[in-house]
Amino acid sequence: MPSDVSRPETTLVRRARKINRVLAETYPEAGCELDFRTPFELLVATVLSAQTTDRRVNAITPALFAAFPDARAMAAADRAALEELIRPTGFFRAKTESLLRLSADLVEHHDGEVPGRLPELVALRGVGRKTANVVLGNAFGVPGLTVDTHFARLVRRFKWVPGEIAKDPVKTERAVAAIFPAKDWTMLSHRLIWHGRRCCHAKKPACGACPVAQWCPAFGTGPIDPVEAAALITTQGPA
């Protein structure tokens, strides 16, 4: 990571790594919740997951990939047909444009294959660092931090990053990367996202039933009564 990232305090590092260990025990099954078989399918599914649920994306991708199984097929897709297939994910016109463009870029610059390096991925039209890190970590085994809304909310509540940094996804990524070894980045992302979806909700976190409550500076943001908090826990991520 860039050298301009200051070294985090030892106490912060110890607390953060303890939280990660407890979340690993709490969510041993944590992983990518998008269904995919190839790097291209994961790239497309991740683009579609913006502003919708993973479950909704998983519901439409079998038909989508049956019609357009690879970048060459999708680059040549009829726009109206593609729009109709992805319509349930919302913002389908903008997403269709992104899929057509990134597929064309893959065909033109990478012989139709998804590259396994960050610079080449973010150079694809419609692909940002978050999407690139999802693909790298889950399709290629390259460590990366996925700073989505859940990730950003939790690191802010845990005070792993200062408030002004937490507003910037790239600065957040760099700050959290300085706390953990690279080998932990991908699974850390999954655990934080799973915890954010199931327990540490945006509006009403289940503080009284949270497995990492004793290390969380934001404890008390939500109900602390164990029974009331337990009722807020979800067994499957809603988004």
CA distances from 232 to 202, 222, 225 (A): 12, 10, 11
On whether the CB atoms of residues 180 and 188 are closer than 8 A, the answer is yes
Q: What is the DSSP letter of 114?
A: P
DSSP string, 147-193: --HHHHHHHHHTTSS-HHHHT-HHHHHHHHHTTS-GGGHHHHHHHHH
Question: Side chain identity at 138, as an amino acid letter?
Answer: N
CA-to-CA distance for 198 and 206, rounded, in angstroms? 9
**Residue 51 per-residue DSSP state:** T
> 183 to each of 27, 36, 124, 138, 145, how far by Cα in Å?
18, 22, 26, 13, 11
**Active-site position among 95, 105, 148, 171:** 148
Q: Is 130 a catalytic residue?
A: yes
Q: Which of 95, 130, 168, 183 is catalytic?
A: 130
Is 204 known to be catalytic? no
Residues 6+ apart with CB under 8 A from 71: 40, 103, 106, 107, 112, 113, 114
Q: Which residues are known catalytic residues?
A: 130, 148
